[in-house]
Chain A
């Protein structure tokens, strides 16, 4: 069965410091991995995706994610956090067309000034 785990409910970071939001997945075959962000009272917004190729994927707002097949991980990173990055972040995986995205439970990122 496909699954996604986000082991941290909350991540706290000081502004200007690097941030990491963790995600691990379990899926048979090749995964297609996504990160979404949700701001208060808004829908989820697509940040970035890994399909194939380079393990380091760059996305919106300066975020990037590293795909690690051996560790089945897809951690979200940013070199320097901003207060405006504070939001709820979701990792998601899909195995093949005709099925739906499987979302993690979300991680709240809080960036303090």
Chain B
């Protein structure tokens, strides 16, 4: 079975540019999570969806960040405009919306903002 697929794996861009990260969850999963990982702050939950509906976006750092899930098989995380402090590894994870089911993570997008 295919796991969670994230693209691109690496992204290098200049500050001020728009960045779009993409995620394809595991088929059948109805929950999707976006995380950010840095050395300084560790693993941070940004936003999560259930059945394509955002449930909690309190972790989104600023209005420059937005996330969408137009259907059950696709989600995007957008940063506009990007800043150097947004440099991090961004992970997407999916799971069933059942409390004892583990999340399955993609291998992340390493984002560098110059």
- Chain A residues in contact with chain B, CB under 8 A? 32, 34, 36, 41-46, 49, 51, 90, 94, 96-98, 100-101, 103, 105-106
> Which residues on the A side are within 8 Å of B106 (C-beta)?
43
- Contact between A96 and B99, CB atoms less than 8 A apart: yes
> Which residues on the A side are within 8 Å of B12 (C-beta)?
none
The answer to whether the Cβ of B18 comes within 8 Å of any Cβ in the partner chain is no
- Contact between B43 and A49, CB atoms less than 8 A apart: no
* 12 A-B residue pairs with CB within 8 Å: A32-B99, A34-B102, A36-B102, A46-B103, A49-B100, A90-B43, A94-B99, A97-B98, A97-B99, A98-B97, A101-B45, A105-B42
- Contact between A44 and B97, CB atoms less than 8 A apart: no
Size of chain B's interface in residues, with CB distance under 8 A?
A: 22
CB distance from A33 to the nearest CB of B (A): 10
- Contact between A43 and B42, CB atoms less than 8 A apart: no
> Which residues on the B side are within 8 Å of A96 (C-beta)?
99
Q: Beyond A44-B43, A44-B91, A106-B42: 6 further Cβ-contacts under 8 Å?
A: A43-B93, A44-B103, A49-B102, A97-B98, A98-B97, A103-B42
The answer to whether the Cβ of B55 comes within 8 Å of any Cβ in the partner chain is yes
- Contact between B100 and A100, CB atoms less than 8 A apart: no
Our pick among A42, A51, A98, A101 for the contact of B103 (Cβ within 8 Å) is: A101
> Which residues on the B side are within 8 Å of A97 (C-beta)?
97-99
The answer to whether the Cβ of B4 comes within 8 Å of any Cβ in the partner chain is yes
> Which residues on the A side are within 8 Å of B107 (C-beta)?
41-43
CB distance from A78 to the nearest CB of B (A): 19
> Which residues on the B side are within 8 Å of A98 (C-beta)?
50, 55, 97
